Structure 1
């Protein structure tokens, strides 16, 4: 397959994730859309690695996956703490995280 197909799918998934981050108000859905965006960037990195025939893209994709896992762990911990304290779960109304 041509690299254009991989990049087209990556762009579509990234656009869906970006639209979800912009329009959603629930923190869990925002985190899910961020994961879509990170997955799309990993797909683009792997496509470019395949095109150039080296493993650099694979290493960067692995780093993106590690960052995504860390982001989910921290973000989910914050969301669970907010639900426990019965704080509003609307992203626009979350003022307790300001320093």
Structure 2
């Protein structure tokens, strides 16, 4: 399994508008081959971090080619700065289960 960690500096005042756009982006992401799931972390004040899991680095790279235009169209207008990939790499261990 391969992980991509991305920081999303959303404009806090635009978060209500972001809900539909983020849902549309998430739906597109779930359609990509090799998608294994995602974790969203709210850092407060509009800042969020995602950890997206892929079957392999090749799946993540192929998805990025498809998803980058979707990010630019749907999400960039809601950000105070461009999103940044913080880390990528093989998942060494996980015991993540459903959030309760």
**TM-score scaled by structure 1?**
0.31
* Structure with larger Rg: 1
Higher relative contact order, structure no. (Cα contacts within 8 Å, ≥ 6 residues apart): 2
Structure number having the greater strand percentage: 2
